[in-house]
Every structure is written in structure tokens, then in C-alpha cells.
């Protein structure tokens, strides 16, 4: 790498100097780049300071569209759902699906459980049975010595639910795990869980060193690491929609409700059979889930990694949603693990995330789980509805057309001519360019 492309002490530079160094060494038009990056700074320095506080080496802000999908009827309550997403059609699809189901009873949800999970991985070379024998005593100590951390959460109704010892000697000699289960109430609880786990690690170490129940050669334990698990299969919400098949109505292309239902159920089955399809199918679900997670300041990476593990829980990657027709009733539902929060973390700090929570009527974590799962299901419904009727490109390209027109700096008059022209034509980058050239 050329010397001007490396630097030491970058983090210590003032923000303007960071930008200056980057603009000068990585761009051909440094002045323009500098102005452009600075133009995205927040006008209010205090607000900018809050944003900068979320990360490191920040030089600007990266704007993303903040949209809303109205008309979500969930458990009898209507919501306007905030969504942060850069992909065209997603918010439109969620809104259309929400409206469709609003007149058919809306979304129904059920919280199946809300357990969070954490692990202390350690190595110990003594007799496994001996460790198992003294574990009840160790467990009591783990709970007792983490009281300082758990006392507040307990006052809020949460805390440690259970702690167990797992033996991994078969996979790796001397390897064990303390697996702990937590209720973190309305917070996502990462800090709480990790603090408890680090306390468990220290307690375990002290116990092993000092215990008179262990021989001298058993008094050595290696705490490998203590960290929450983002796999929370028992922090689960079910969202569903259903109606009589004939209430589904008729669909584009002259498709009647029976054929639509049959194609729809088969499409979902395919996503249970074939991981290639399941991946795209679930991606569509996360278009909705991630967008609400982002808008409400939740950790969408944690949510997604958990969902994909859950989708593979029987050893094969499958659809997260299910569909059936039984006794003339069409039913479509999703079981989604969602470890989210409505207090603490970014949710409380990010000014727009705070507004999102307010827009949703200040839900608790369970209610937000229901909203997010319903949005994921709506997104999945809209995608499959398009796929089995008109195909996805028609709606998608219409939205995409507007993006291409903006990129090509089309005037309002040019845009409206282009929208008419492409109404029954395939949209492509080259096609739009040719059309604009022909009218310019």
C-alpha cells in the first residue's frame, strides 16, 4: 500500500482533518468530496454529537429513507409502521399487504416465550461426574454473587431464569458450558446478560480454586469466554392471518381465489423443500423485519442471524413462514425468534428511533415483537402474491424506474413522460437512457 494510504493516529484527528486526509488521498476531486461529506452533517451540533457517539471515526452521516406503512391492524389495534430501508417496493408492498389484511381481520399474534440466552465456555480437566455433582452448589453461588447486577432487573420483573451445565467432552476433551437463561423485560438485554456471564465466569474460577471438594489437580479452570448467544429460539412470536378462501378475492391476470391459494401454499411449501428458494423467501421476510428493527433502533444483525439459525433448526434451512388451506380457510403464519427491546440502547438514544417507538404508541418489547413479526409476514405475503400472480418485476421496476430517472436527473415533465412510456414496457437502465435521449 502506498504510504499516503496508511495513517497512524487517525482516530485522534479532528473530524474535518479526517475528511481532509481521506478526500486528498482517495479521491480525484477532494474539495468536492469534502463539501459533500460535510453537507450531510446534522445542522444541529448537539444532534451530530449524539450520532457520532454511536460509532468511531465518523466523518459524516449516511442517509437512508425513513418510510412508513400505514393501516397495519394487529391484534385489534391499528399502527403506522416505521421502516428504514433502501430497497424500492418494500414499504409499498408492506402497505399493500397491511391494507389487504385490514379488511380481512388483520394480523393476530401470540408471544410464545421471551427467554434470552448466555454462555460461559470453559475447560476443566477433572472428572465430569464430580463437576456435575457439585454444580447445584456452584449454581447457587453464581446467582448469589451476581445479585448486584440482577437486583434492578429483578425489580422490573426479570432476571436469571435458570442456569445449567453442559458437557462437551465428546466434542472437545475438558470442554463445558454454563448456559444461562434470562428475562430482560423490555430491554434487548445484551449488556445485562454479558455482565451476568462475566460475573459467572469469575465466580466459577474462584470456586474451583478454593473448593475443598476438589483435589489439588482439579483446581484449575480455563474460562475461555463469556458472551450472550444471539440464538434465542425461545424468544418467539407467532403472527398469522387467515380468511375464507373465497374472501381472498380475485387477483391480477384473472386468477381466482382457489387457484391463488393453491399457488400460494405451494410457493411456501417450495421454501420448506428447497434451501435455495428458502433463502430468498426468508430474505423477503427480513426486508420487513430489518426495516422496522432499524427504524426502532434494534440490532438487525442479531435478529437476522438468529432467524437463519432458527430456520435451520431441524438440520435443513427452511421457510420461516407456513401456509395452508383447511376446510376452506386460508391460513398464513410465521414463527419468528425476535430478541428486541423498546428501552435502553439505541432505542432510547437515537432521536428518530425514539420517534418510531412513539409513533407505534410506546409499545413494550412483546408488542414490538408482534409488530415486527406482522410486518415480516406482510412482506412475505406481498412478495409471494406478486410472484404467483403478475411476477415481481412489474411493481419492482416501476419503483426502480423512478430511481433511475432521479439518477439521470430527469425533470418532472420527462419523468411523467417516462412513467407513461414504460407503463407496459420492460424497464432497463439502457432503455430509460435511450428514452430520455429521444425526448431531450
CA angle in degrees (0–180, nearest 5) for 101-102-104? 60
CA dihedral (165, 167, 168, 169) positive or negative: positive
The footprint of ligand MEV (CB under 6 A) covers 87, 280-281, 283-284, 287, 383, 387, 392
Task: Look at residue 120 and give its three-state secondary structure.
Answer: strand
DSSP string, 40-100: TS-SSHHHHHHHHTTSSS--S-----EEEEEEEEETTEEEEEEEE--STTHHHHHHHHHHH
CA dihedral (125, 126, 131, 134) positive or negative: negative
Given the residues 44, 87, 154, 250, the one annotated as active site: 87
CB of 118 to ligand MEV, least distance (A): 33
Output the residue with the shortest Cβ distance to ligand MEV: 284
* DSSP conformation class of 214: S
CB of 281 to ligand MEV, least distance (A): 5
Alpha helices in 274-338, H assignment, sequence order: 275-295, 300-311
Q: At what angle do helices 30-39 and 15-26 cross, to 10 degrees?
A: 140
Question: Is 87 among the residues known to form the active site?
Answer: yes
In the bound state with ligand MEV, the residue whose beta carbon lies nearer, of 146 and 386, is 386
9 CB-contact burial (10 Å; exposed 0-12 / middle 13-18 / buried 19+): exposed
Which grid coordinates are listed for 223? Answer: 474460562
CB of 399 to ligand MEV, least distance (A): 11
In the bound state with ligand MEV, the residue whose beta carbon lies nearer, of 112 and 387, is 387
Alpha-carbon distance of 408 to 429, in angstroms, equals 10
CB of 25 to ligand MEV, least distance (A): 36
In the bound state with ligand MEV, the residue whose beta carbon lies nearer, of 163 and 373, is 373
Do 375 and 290 form a contact (C-beta atoms < 8 A)? no
Given the residues 272, 350, 396, 400, the one annotated as active site: 396
Task: Look at residue 188 and give its three-state secondary structure.
Answer: coil
In the bound state with ligand MEV, the residue whose beta carbon lies nearer, of 60 and 282, is 282
Given the residues 42, 77, 219, 283, the one annotated as active site: 283
CB of 386 to ligand MEV, least distance (A): 7
Question: Is 283 among the residues known to form the active site?
Answer: yes
b/e burial code for range 302-315 (CB count within 10 A of at least 16 → b): bbbebbbbbbeeee
CB of 392 to ligand MEV, least distance (A): 5
Question: Is 424 among the residues known to form the active site?
Answer: no
In the bound state with ligand MEV, the residue whose beta carbon lies nearer, of 319 and 347, is 319
Alpha-carbon distance of 132 to 169, in angstroms, equals 13
CB of 163 to ligand MEV, least distance (A): 40
Alpha-carbon distance of 211 to 209, in angstroms, equals 6
CB of 179 to ligand MEV, least distance (A): 34
Question: Is 31 among the residues known to form the active site?
Answer: no
Do 221 and 120 form a contact (C-beta atoms < 8 A)? no
Going from the C-alpha of 299 to that of each of 65, 308, 312, 411, the distances in angstroms are 18, 15, 21, 39
In the bound state with ligand MEV, the residue whose beta carbon lies nearer, of 57 and 280, is 280
Active site residues: 87, 283, 299, 396
Amino acid at each position: 500500500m502506498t504510504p499516503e494510504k496508511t495513517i497512524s493516529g487517525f482516530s485522534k484527528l479532528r473530524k474535518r482533518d479526517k475528511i481532509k486526509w481521506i478526500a486528498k488521498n482517495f479521491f480525484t476531486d477532494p474539495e468536492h468530496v469534502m463539501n459533500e461529506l460535510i453537507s450531510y452533517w446534522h445542522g444541529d451540533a448537539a444532534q451530530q454529537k449524539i450520532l457520532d457517539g454511536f460509532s468511531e471515526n465518523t466523518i459524516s452521516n449516511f442517509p437512508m429513507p425513513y418510510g412508513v406503512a400505514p393501516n397495519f391492524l394487529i391484534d385489534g389495534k391499528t399502527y403506522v409502521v416505521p421502516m428504514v430501508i433502501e430497497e424500492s417496493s418494500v414499504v409499498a408492498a408492506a402497505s399493500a399487504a397491511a391494507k389487504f389484511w385490514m379488511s380481512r381481520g388483520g394480523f393476530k399474534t401470540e408471544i410464545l416465550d421471551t427467554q434470552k440466552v448466555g454462555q460461559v465456555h470453559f475447560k476443566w480437566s477433572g472428572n465430569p461426574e464430580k463437576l456435575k455433582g457439585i454444580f447445584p452448589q456452584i449454581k447457587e453461588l453464581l446467582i448469589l454473587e451476581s445479585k448486584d447486577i440482577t437486583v434492578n432487573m429483578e425489580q422490573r420483573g426479570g432476571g436469571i431464569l435458570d442456569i445449567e451445565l453442559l458437557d462437551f467432552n465428546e466434542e472437545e476433551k475438558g470442554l463445558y458450558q454454563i448456559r444461562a437463561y434470562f428475562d430482560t423485560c423490555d430491554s434487548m438485554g445484551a449488556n445485562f446478560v454479558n455482565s451476568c456471564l462475566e460475573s459467572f465466569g469469575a465466580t466459577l474460577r474462584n470456586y474451583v480454586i478454593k473448593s475443598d471438594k476438589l483435589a489439588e489437580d482439579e483446581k484449575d479452570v480455563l474460562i475461555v469466554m463469556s458472551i450472550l448467544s444471539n440464538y434465542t429460539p425461545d424468544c418467539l412470536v407467532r403472527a398469522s392471518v387467515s380468511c375464507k378462501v373465497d374472501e381472498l378475492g380475485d387477483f391480477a391476470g384473472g386468477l381466482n381465489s382457489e387457484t391463488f391459494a393453491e399457488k400460494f401454499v405451494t410457493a411456501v411449501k417450495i421454501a420448506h423443500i428447497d434451501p435455495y428458494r428458502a433463502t430468498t423467501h426468508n430474505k423477503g421476510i427480513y426486508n420487513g423485519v430489518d426495516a422496522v428493527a432499524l427504524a426502532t433502533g434494534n440490532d438487525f444483525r442479531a435478529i437476522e442471524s438468529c432467524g437463519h439459525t432458527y430456520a435451520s433448526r431441524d438440520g435443513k434451512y427452511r421457510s420461516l413462514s407456513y401456509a395452508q388451506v383447511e376446510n376452506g380457510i386460508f391460513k398464513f403464519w410465521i414463527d419468528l425468534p425476535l430478541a428486541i427491546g423498546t428501552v435502553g440502547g439505541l432505542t432510547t438514544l437515537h432521536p428518530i428511533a425514539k420517534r418510531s417507538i412513539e409513533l407505534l404508541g410506546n409499545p413494550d418489547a412483546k408488542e414490538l415483537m408482534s409488530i415486527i413479526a406482522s410486518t415480516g409476514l406482510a412482506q412475505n405475503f406481498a412478495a409471494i402474491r406478486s410472484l404467483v400472480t403478475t411476477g415481481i418485476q412489474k411493481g419492482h421496476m416501476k419503483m426502480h424506474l423512478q430511481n433511475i430517472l432521479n439518477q439521470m436527473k430527469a425533470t418532472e415533465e420527462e419523468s411523467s413522460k417516462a412513467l407513461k412510456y414504460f407503463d407496459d414496457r420492460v424497464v432497463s437502465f439502457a432503455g430509460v437512457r435511450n428514452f430520455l435521449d429521444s425526448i431531450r
